[in-house]
């Protein structure tokens, strides 16, 4: 009996130790920093545990769920959306959100990931459906802003904060893509032709401007040359005139100068008629008389 009693005592002690260890294990909870634990007491919400060690009452306290507090990224398959001008486009969207209220995310919605996905798809169709294709292609920021505001407002009572929404792609139908590519190619060709024409125009303008400047400079040079030539001739005539008057020439000398100038006048091709001044005939008479008087003594000698 003593041996049996001793064994029973050892078994009882071991059972008590196991129960105590189990209770301690269940009573102490260590929560990771990036998560939150929802604790229920007797089936009802009791409190939310955040990062660090916590003590629970075994049996009556039970963890309900673990909620990830980090920002999450949800990418949906491309959705076919009908635009305002009745064109079907494939829209691919990505939603960034995080849980701000673990209690609401646990008790207000059964599956907040699925709810965010379905709400995003519905909101995307509403927003893009109110735009035509051209507006949808060039208004990504507007679409992102509308999606973000709508989703953030709708998911607020679920304890979820939508930080941003990004459109990854908006793909029109293949036939429409071909037409758009042809239009873009034609637009590029038109712009290239315009640039070529503008370049040719500028080149012609520069050439004409250069020729005009050259003609102006040439005319200015000719003008300056003629002015200088006229000034030189004027000065030469003035010098000759002054020299002649300084020498006080008589009629005989002037007649002699007329006779020397006549052959030079005859050399010009445009000289068709000569006008001999009356003073020349009087001078010639004086010269003839002078030669006659000067020749008589010689004959007598």
Based on the fold, state whether residues 59 and 120 are members of the same structural domain. no
Per the domain annotation, does 113 fall within a domain?
Answer: yes
Based on the fold, state whether residues 154 and 79 are members of the same structural domain. yes
Per the domain annotation, does 299 fall within a domain?
Answer: no
| HSE-CB of 38 using CA atoms within 13 angstroms | 16
Based on the fold, state whether residues 189 and 161 are members of the same structural domain. no
Count helices and strands (H / E) in the chain: 8, 9
Based on the fold, state whether residues 225 and 191 are members of the same structural domain. yes
Domain hosting 16: range is: 2-68
Q: Which of 12, 33, 68 is a domain's end point?
A: 68
3-state class (DSSP) for residue 49: strand
- Paired residues of 44 in beta bridges: 41
Query: What's the pLDDT score for residue 125?
Result: 86
Based on the fold, state whether residues 232 and 255 are members of the same structural domain. no
Per the domain annotation, does 81 fall within a domain?
Answer: yes
Q: Which of 122, 151, 172 is a domain's end point?
A: 172
Closest C-alpha to 69, from 93, 37, 46: 37
Per the domain annotation, does 109 fall within a domain?
Answer: yes
Put the strands of the sheet holding 61-68 in their side by side order.
Answer: 44-49, 35-41, 61-68
Per the domain annotation, does 300 fall within a domain?
Answer: no
Based on the fold, state whether residues 213 and 153 are members of the same structural domain. no
Instruction: Give the position of tokens 């604790």.
Output: 39
| Gap between the Cα atoms of 7 and 140, Å rounded | 78
Based on the fold, state whether residues 77 and 138 are members of the same structural domain. yes
Burial 118-132 (b: 16+ CB within 10 A, else e): ebbbebbeebbeebe
Closest C-alpha to 32, from 70, 74, 71, 72: 70
Per the domain annotation, does 45 fall within a domain?
Answer: yes
| Gap between the Cα atoms of 155 and 162, Å rounded | 8
User: Is 144 in contact with 166 (CB distance < 8 Å)?
Assistant: yes
| Gap between the Cα atoms of 226 and 282, Å rounded | 38
Listed in sequence order, the DSSP H helices in 172-277 are 174-247, 251-267
N-term to C-term CA, the chain: 207
Q: Which of 12, 39, 68 is a domain's end point?
A: 68
Query: What's the pLDDT score for residue 40?
Result: 92
Query: What's the pLDDT score for residue 289?
Result: 56
Based on the fold, state whether residues 80 and 160 are members of the same structural domain. yes
Based on the fold, state whether residues 78 and 168 are members of the same structural domain. yes
Q: By CB neighbour count within 10 A (0-12 exposed, 13-18 middle, 19+ buried), where does 103 fall? A: middle
Number of domains making up the chain:
4
Global pTM value: 0.53
Query: What's the pLDDT score for residue 286?
Result: 57
| Gap between the Cα atoms of 246 and 5, Å rounded | 172
Based on the fold, state whether residues 31 and 113 are members of the same structural domain. no
Per the domain annotation, does 86 fall within a domain?
Answer: yes
Per the domain annotation, does 298 fall within a domain?
Answer: no
Give every residue of the chain whose pLDDT is below 70, as ranges: 1-2, 175-180, 240-241, 244-245, 247-301
User: Is 140 in contact with 167 (CB distance < 8 Å)?
Assistant: yes
| Gap between the Cα atoms of 211 and 77, Å rounded | 67
DSSP one-letter code for 53: E
| Gap between the Cα atoms of 168 and 96, Å rounded | 13
- Paired residues of 94 in beta bridges: 75, 166
């Amino acid at each position: 009996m003593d041996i049996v009693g001793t064994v029973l005592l050892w078994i009882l002690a071991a059972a008590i130790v196991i129960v105590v260890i189990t209770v301690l294990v269940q009573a102490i909870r260590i929560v990771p920093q990036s998560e939150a634990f929802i604790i229920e007491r007797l089936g009802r919400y009791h409190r939310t545990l955040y990062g660090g060690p916590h003590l629970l009452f075994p049996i009556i306290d039970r963890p309900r769920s673990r909620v990830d507090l980090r920002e999450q990224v949800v990418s949906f398959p491309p959705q076919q959306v009908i635009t305002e001008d009745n064109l079907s486009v494939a829209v691919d969207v990505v939603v960034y959100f995080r849980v701000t209220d673990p209690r609401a995310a646990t008790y207000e919605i059964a599956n907040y990931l699925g709810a965010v996905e379905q709400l995003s798809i519905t909101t995307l169709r509403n927003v893009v459906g109110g735009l035509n294709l051209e507006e949808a292609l060039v208004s990504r920021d507007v679409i992102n802003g509308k999606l973000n505001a709508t989703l953030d407002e709708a998911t607020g009572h679920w304890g979820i904060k939508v930080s941003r929404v990004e459109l990854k792609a908006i793909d029109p139908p293949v036939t429409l893509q071909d037409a758009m590519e042809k239009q873009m190619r034609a637009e590029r060709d038109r712009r290239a032709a315009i640039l070529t024409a503008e370049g040719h125009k500028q080149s012609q303008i520069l050439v004409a401007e250069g020729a005009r400047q050259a003609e102006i400079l040439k005319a200015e040079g000719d003008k300056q040359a003629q002015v200088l030539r006229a000034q030189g001739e004027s000065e030469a005539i003035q010098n000759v005139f002054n020299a002649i008057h300084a020498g006080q020439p008589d009629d005989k000398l002037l007649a002699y100068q007329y006779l020397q100038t006549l052959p030079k006048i005859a050399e010009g091709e445009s000289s068709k008629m000569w006008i001999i001044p009356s003073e020349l005939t009087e001078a010639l008479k004086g010269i003839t008389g002078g030669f006659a008087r000067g020749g008589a003594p010689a004959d007598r000698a």
